[in-house]
Structure 1
């Protein structure tokens, strides 16, 4: 049977994630991988989760843990998130919170909620490739969101053509892939732009807790609440996740936003998977309540040291003409190579001769540009291997 002839046209825009493919290399022991932006499993609070799951399966809890549940999410977990959001300057209630299967599911739902074919999504250039993968299924066009400039709302609207601009998507703290953070002024400009265009703002906060130095900045949603007084009057939708702090395998994230948006997302959740795993939510709630802050302090110390080692190794081993970002947190450093070097070709040579993996930068650009860029992740690799891997990569680039 020719399945392709009956697939929906949107499938033509759906592509395999380059990062998911590169993660398969982690099983090869001689590969030094800077590819996947994933936590170090040695830092997982495994004992705490073992105890939390045991508690969830006690006679008094197992009926809740193993039963169907409400689509909005497990109440005690939503209560903890309400408290956490308040600490970030976002006063809200349970009704402003939806639990999702990781923040990736939230991006898929938001794409489905807002995008009709031909509508415009404003994204970074580069941006998180998982967001592009989520939005692509809904057949949008993309335009470059650039809060560093004063590009007018009228210019964005004109570029949109027949479709409407629907939202601005951005990772504001230690962004994937660049590691950059939007300063106060840029955050304010995004709110101004969204108000002028009458669009939503999707704030991807997956790395918000992983700050190693510098001043903590209020989320865009918090800044908008300062202006408008109430979360239900705001257009910013905050996407949070436990994947980078507690455990990615449990697939627990959340959306925080105006009740009108959350109620529509709940309908999408009901149609898709009814609700996220209840027992996983219970375990996350127990561990977060007991040790979220102390655990985040622990992993920040480890990742900060690896970031420092990677930056030092880049200084020591990269040839002239290579530049890179210096992130204040997160998991990534972004490299720009001399124009004539194609990072996809470089990866093929690197895997063959130097046994070092990274992600070519073109995957993070909606238009496939950025062929001379690449992303390095320092979160999974120990400091000695960071030195060795960067030295090998520098040698390869110098010979290119």
Structure 2
């Protein structure tokens, strides 16, 4: 774990030939992905009003070290960032309101902190204030893009009560993800892309402003090289029976070529050849698809390796099936030549007898 970084391990040796115990030590160097801590001056909970000085600070903890990089609404911040991670507003203005997050590039990918909504208050007519708040909060939906295998942290707006749910693809139902206002996903997969919502646990909320705050929507997009599931699998087929090989693959950017390699032949989805049918690609979830290869009747020539290849602008991935074969109970393999079949069984019996004699006598 990251808490073990810079820890010292000592091996202590006691032996009858030693007058005193001896020891040897080593220092652990644990590499870990970035975690973020965002602070503010004045502190959180104090209203920010137009014209006052404000500072935002981002601290990144990672090994190797990674530099912080501020973004506002997924673009460059309105003021220059200092090398140590400060955004200093000498006189903050209303147009500085918006979503701020801290990002960092690491050896293992790109990472992002939870989002923080900076709300700058200013004097307006009482009749205009509700309209401003509604307009401000209706734009709090966000889009977060993370590299495959990276980490993402989401947080409900400060000062609100809510918890995170995920919109299930297809059904449209909200699946609760716990009771915390913060959601952290490490080593994200393509299957975790989609729409996440911070929703109020209080269905009887009568304050429209709170309801809008607690309905924050985040669209999470995963990008990277193609991934294939499973990458390696062994399957036992039954002689004379059909066999279906099913594989799932994900890619963003979208794939531009997929193909099967079977019996030293290339079979593309939608085609068939010599009892092998490659069905068209079907969609399963966002950026993920399913490919199916169907063997109408398995014979001895079908034993071996089957490969599925997918390519996108970000790379190439391969999934491999190793097909073995067994015989159904009571099944007799018929050969085109009866003499060949008899010879085969005689050779098998002789081999078994030789093995038995060798075991007993030697």
- TM-score of the alignment, normalized to the shorter chain, above 0.5: no
Which structure has more relative contact order (CA 8 Å, sep 6+)? It is 1
Greater strand percent: which structure?
A: 2
**Length-normalised TM-score, structure 2:** 0.25
Greater helix percent: which structure?
A: 1
Higher Rg of the two aligned structures = 2
